[in-house]
Chain A
Amino acid sequence: MATTITFALMDPPYESARSTTAFRLIDIAARRGYNVNVFAYEGAVATPFAQQKAHPNAVHGRDAAQENHPLPKDWVAALMQAAAQNGGKLDWVNCGLCVDERGVAEVIEGVRRGTPGDLWRMASESQGTLIIGTR
């Protein structure tokens, strides 16, 4: 039986190194062919927001293409693809009420809307759960 692990993320994008650390961990799991569940809670629901846009960076003297500014939504998509290529699956669930209060309902393909009950179900079906909360 494939290993399944669950992450609960809370930080909004571009605010904390914890988000990048979470993505590193998810990347390792995806490369190993694990099934990975993510429950995005509170600000983390903006992570797969489809309207994120790259920008130029005058401080670096680079235009948007040269800067290749990271977009967390692309990280989510890349991790979904990596999981699938290695025989696993990344199931990303956004807390629906958290989405509504932030107006970030437009998300990339593969992200679905859910409730805290999804976190409980995903964790119940997992070998382990890691909570990465906001501090």
Chain B
Amino acid sequence: MKVLQVIQSAYRATLEEQDDTIVWITHAMKGAGADLEVLLRGSAVNYAVLGQDASGLSFGSWRQSEPPKIAEDVAALIKKGVGVFVVEEDVAERGLGNARLVDGIQRLPRAGIPALMDRSDQVWMW
């Protein structure tokens, strides 16, 4: 079975979780033998942008020493053989057309989404 993970709700509790929970569960399921691809759409396309820095969170004497590094987590998925796509119109609409994205990420026009879905047995919209 092959599943396409569609991620569109971005930065949902990422500071508390130290990661994006869907990117994380994709890593975990890949480790369990899952055959997965990931589509980043909407605001989640920003996960592919290099140079993000979520450090500096502190409350009183508590400091977060290990902030989320979601672009690195996305890059690690690609290195594990998970195909990761961004919707190129969503990238452009957010002014990220010239931003440097994670190596190996694949830009997909919106019109290409049906074909991407069609090659998976299930599509999971997170």
Main secondary structure of the interface of A (DSSP, over half): mixed
Smallest beta-carbon distance A116→chain B, Å = 4
What A residues does B12 contact at CB under 8 A? Answer: 134
Q: Is A119's CB under 8 angstroms from B29's CB?
A: yes
Our count of residue pairs bridging A and B at CB distance below 8 angstroms stands at 43
Q: Is A129's CB under 8 angstroms from B9's CB?
A: no
Main secondary structure of the interface of B (DSSP, over half): mixed
Q: Is A133's CB under 8 angstroms from B9's CB?
A: yes
Q: Is A117's CB under 8 angstroms from B32's CB?
A: yes
- The size class of the interface chain B forms with chain A is 10 to 19
Q: Does B111 contact A (CB under 8 A)?
A: no
Smallest beta-carbon distance B125→chain A, Å = 6
A-B contacts, 5 of them at CB < 8 A, read A41-B25, A117-B31, A119-B25, A129-B122, A133-B9
Q: What residues make up the interface of A, taking CB atoms closer than 8 Å to B?
A: 8, 10, 41-42, 115-117, 119-121, 123-124, 128-129, 131, 133-135
